[in-house]
Structure 1
Amino acid sequence: MQRYSRIAIFLHWAIAAMLAFQIAVGWALEDLGARGFALFQLHKSIGILILLLTLARIAIRYWKPRPAPTEHGWQGALAKAVHAGLYVFMLGAPLTGWALVSTAKVKVPTLIFGVVPLPHLPLPMSVNDPAFAAHSVLAWVGIALFALHVAGALRHHFLMRDGLMWRMMPVRSPALLAALPGLIAVGFVLGRIILPTPAPKAIAALVPPVAVEEEAAANVAEAVDNVANAALPASADNAAAVEEPVGPPPNWAVQPGGSIGFSVGNSGETISGNFAKWTAKIVMNPDHPDSADIRVEIDLASASVGDSYKDGMLAGDEFFGVAAHPKAVFTAKGAEKTGANGYRASGTLSLKGVSKPQSIRFTLSGKGKARKVAGSATITRASFGVGNGDSSTGLDPKVTVHFGFSAKAE
């Protein structure tokens, strides 16, 4: 029986094993967050390698003619259709993935196996959504074609017993007949083994629009208060001056379910994300805001914009530099009332080895020992060296941070 050339046989099994690896890894990438950055780079590298090997495989088909088909009729037509579909998959999946990376909001450099830079395709941003859809559809179509191809090979070998599979073996060896198809299983298992354990999904809920409305209302209330205070007689000021807080200010325990999010403009669009891990220590009497003692610590490695390779960029030196500066810390002593329920705290933000003055605005709702907090701050990212590379050129100079949580007095 005429066999395929040895180079065609090598390319067939190598591509099959890599496709199995890609399928195993691709299923999990979206849930890995920043921890999936290195794996995403590997996924892209192997995808481009599959593209190159597929082009070589097509060239070999014309250089070394393949054996004549053994089936005709509808079975032969189906076999040809599956083979053609597999080539579309092996070319289309890497190309749509390349297009997807090239049109992402944040341009993430790709180094093939950490060595060879892959240029971005000159495509408009409008291609991003169609590329994502096509890449996802091609993945599922590829899995179906892969299964049909394997089923056809097993049918020929075990039901028809025509020895067709020997055409894709360099020699007629039962050991190779088991080992080479086994590479596909090895590729899939390896793809699952190297996956890190998924972390619990970050709380995606950000501060609701009502928080923005509350802040606007607070600003109006502040203006009204200023006018009203100007009209008050001096005796009222003196009475307020004599009033003293009763007892020490309470500690407030932040309740589960809160969020700290961020957003920044990027070439006319907005990139939004949040921090999954943070802590806040708050001491404050709402009636006497000057008693406030606030400390918020944010785990920068928990930053996510919902995309694993962009999250990996956030952790790098161009943005947060998590390896050297794992936390951002905001501290403030004292606050001032800006309206009926509005406050402003001026303190210090320490981020990426830089400490600078920073103020936050927030509102309190509720009464007694249970309060809801919603607020925001505007941070000049360049002051802290955040976004200092080529992929940050389209980002707006200021980042909005917004937060919301419930707290109980202890």
Structure 2
Amino acid sequence: MPQRYSLAAIILHWAIAALLAFQIAVGWALGGLGARGFTLYQLHKSVGITILALTILRIVIRYWKPRPPAKEGGWQGALASGVHFGLYAFMLAAPLTGWALVSTAKVKVPTLIFGILPLPPLPLPASAHEAFENGHGLIAWIGIALFLLHVAGALRHHLLIGDGLIWRMVPGRSRALLLALPALILIGFVAGRAIVPAGDAPASLARSAPDADTGEEADNGAQAINAAAAAPEAPAANAADNGSEAADEDAAGAPAAWSVQPGGTIHFSVGNDGETISGNFSKWTARIVMDPDRPETADIQVTIDMASASVGDAYKDGMLPNEEFLATAAHPTATFTAKGAEATSPGRYQANGTLTLKGVSKPQTIRFSLSGAGATRRVRGIASIARAAFGVGNGESSGSLAPQVAVTFDFSARRQD
């Protein structure tokens, strides 16, 4: 029988050990991060599936390549065998239950292994989610206990018994590797702790923070609106000239209809605990009737295809259509309508209308400016939307999102003759 494990088995042993230490460090922090831990959560899933794949490979090699004989018999040998068996069960069960709880979660988040390889959900009933979630946590603690027992056993053989058992997992009996390979476990744990955002409070504490935070976020949304309204535009004299020109062009008194030109944008952004999540809607239409010189004639309707929302991240984009956020299956479009507008300063306007989103209709104000001359105008504006009023972000993963969503738009419109 060989006196050490094969090189492939040794590599897999230390690689899996380092990854497990990383997972333990990250897993401890995930529960308190809320929406801030989204990216870390995806990494946790990717590493877990990697451990599952490496463990299966390790089992194949274990029965393919001859192994060194057992060093001990009796109850000590039975305990060692039991710990080894338990570790293999843990390395299989932990990622499998993680996969299962993701597959049965109410909010369906697509899983891309390291952002590349899609992982399909397991065909399991949603009613089993709580059992898988509790089981995943329990298995993690059992795994930590087995991990410590395994390390204690290795140290006992090497330091107390001195039978050289540990050299079975060290290529060439190298003393340098004897120090370097176990250090990988510490490095894995430290790396896991290092990438966890510092100063994170548990989600329950974050949700019970003083109401002043909400007011501050609302103030920030108002500041964003004011900033957009004050954005550089054509000089006031030019805006007045444009209004007079439009009045001349519509001598009959009928307000002009305007067609939106290709290339326009509708962006949205929301604060996420000090960071900003930004995205856009790629599909939308607008029907605009308005005489810039008589804003009370405005008749505006904007329809947005909610399934076209994207924040440029495959994971988060996969969450947007779900019930927690936009619920696009039941409510595929959002609509803003307004009858009439008012001038707030030359070339700048405010329209008080109605926003219908996720089947809920609420009053909504937008501010916009017009610039340009002739038959073409540039339209730029902003709105601050209270997402909770429309049930957008109504789940646990949304706890860190700011209450106000800033929506900005920028497009050109041409007068229809």
**TM tier, shorter chain?**
0.5 to 0.7
Q: What is aligned with 2:372?
A: none
CA contact (8 A) 1:103 1:128 kept: yes
Relative to structure 1, is the Cα distance of residues 91 and 355 closer, same or farther in structure 2, using a 3 angstrom cutoff?
Answer: same
The separation in 2 between residues aligned to 1:52 and 1:171, in whole angstroms, is 27
Output the TM-score relative to the length of structure 1: 0.56
Residue 281 of structure 1 and its aligned partner are, at CA, apart by 10
Q: What is aligned with 1:174?
A: 175
The separation in 2 between residues aligned to 1:15 and 1:281, in whole angstroms, is 47
Residue 300 of structure 1 and its aligned partner are, at CA, apart by 2.6
CA contact (8 A) 1:278 1:299 kept: no
Q: What is aligned with 1:214?
A: none
Deviations 1:165-187 (A, max 9, x none): 00111211111111111111111
CA contact (8 A) 1:276 1:302 kept: no
The separation in 2 between residues aligned to 1:316 and 1:378, in whole angstroms, is 19
Q: What is aligned with 2:241?
A: none
The separation in 1 between residues aligned to 2:219 and 2:33, in whole angstroms, is 23
Relative to structure 1, is the Cα distance of residues 313 and 62 closer, same or farther in structure 2, using a 3 angstrom cutoff?
Answer: closer
Match of 2:270 among 295, 300, 309: 300
CA contact (8 A) 2:217 2:403 kept: no
3-state SS of paired residue (1:348): strand
CA contact (8 A) 2:218 2:403 kept: no
CA contact (8 A) 2:109 2:316 kept: no
Match of 2:219 among 279, 292, 301: 279
The separation in 2 between residues aligned to 1:176 and 1:281, in whole angstroms, is 56
The separation in 1 between residues aligned to 2:137 and 2:218, in whole angstroms, is 34
Q: What is aligned with 1:99?
A: 100
3-state SS of paired residue (1:301): strand
2:197 corresponds to 1:196: yes
Relative to structure 1, is the Cα distance of residues 205 and 182 closer, same or farther in structure 2, using a 3 angstrom cutoff?
Answer: closer
The separation in 2 between residues aligned to 1:141 and 1:46, in whole angstroms, is 19
Q: 1:92-131 maps to which residues of 2 (within 5 A)?
A: 92-131=93-132
One-letter amino acid of the structure 1 residue matched with residue 21 of structure 2: A
- Percent same amino acid at aligned positions? 56
Residue 118 of structure 1 and its aligned partner are, at CA, apart by 0.6
Residue 127 of structure 1 and its aligned partner are, at CA, apart by 1.4
3-state SS of paired residue (2:152): helix
Residue 276 of structure 1 and its aligned partner are, at CA, apart by 9.4
Relative to structure 1, is the Cα distance of residues 129 and 357 closer, same or farther in structure 2, using a 3 angstrom cutoff?
Answer: closer
The separation in 1 between residues aligned to 2:319 and 2:84, in whole angstroms, is 44
The separation in 2 between residues aligned to 1:115 and 1:29, in whole angstroms, is 22
Unaligned runs of 5+ in 1: 207-255, 261-274, 283-297, 304-311, 322-331, 335-344, 361-375, 388-400, 404-410
2:365 corresponds to 1:348: yes
Deviations 1:78-128 (A, max 9, x none): 101100110111000000000011111111111111111111111110111
Q: What is aligned with 1:9?
A: 10
3-state SS of paired residue (1:154): helix
Residue 314 of structure 1 and its aligned partner are, at CA, apart by 9.7
Q: What is aligned with 2:22?
A: 21
Q: 1:11-410 maps to which residues of 2 (within 5 A)?
A: 11-200=12-201, 201=203, 203-204=206-207, 256-257=210-211, 277-279=217-219, 300-302=270-272, 319=320, 346-348=363-365, 377-378=389-390
The separation in 2 between residues aligned to 1:56 and 1:182, in whole angstroms, is 23
Residue 40 of structure 1 and its aligned partner are, at CA, apart by 1.2
The separation in 1 between residues aligned to 2:177 and 2:318, in whole angstroms, is 48
Deviations 1:109-162 (A, max 9, x none): 111111111111111101110110110001100000000000000000000000
Is the deviation greater in 72-81 or in 190-199? Answer: 190-199
The separation in 1 between residues aligned to 2:318 and 2:154, in whole angstroms, is 50
Residue 35 of structure 1 and its aligned partner are, at CA, apart by 2.6
The separation in 2 between residues aligned to 1:126 and 1:183, in whole angstroms, is 39
Residue 318 of structure 1 and its aligned partner are, at CA, apart by 6.3
The separation in 1 between residues aligned to 2:38 and 2:57, in whole angstroms, is 29
Relative to structure 1, is the Cα distance of residues 180 and 281 closer, same or farther in structure 2, using a 3 angstrom cutoff?
Answer: closer
Residue 257 of structure 1 and its aligned partner are, at CA, apart by 2.7
Q: What is aligned with 1:226?
A: none
One-letter amino acid of the structure 2 residue matched with residue 39 of structure 1: L
One-letter amino acid of the structure 2 residue matched with residue 64 of structure 1: K
Residue 7 of structure 1 and its aligned partner are, at CA, apart by 0.5
Output the TM-score relative to the length of structure 2: 0.55
Residue 192 of structure 1 and its aligned partner are, at CA, apart by 0.9
One-letter amino acid of the structure 1 residue matched with residue 211 of structure 2: G
Residue 21 of structure 1 and its aligned partner are, at CA, apart by 0.5
3-state SS of paired residue (1:111): strand
Unaligned runs of 5+ in 2: 223-267, 274-312, 327-349, 353-361, 368-379, 395-401, 405-417
Aligned residues: 266
3-state SS of paired residue (1:28): helix
One-letter amino acid of the structure 1 residue matched with residue 13 of structure 2: H
The ranges of structure 1 where at least 4 consecutive aligned residues each deviate by more than 3 angstroms after the TM superposition are: 198-203, 275-282, 312-321, 353-358, 376-379
3-state SS of paired residue (1:300): strand
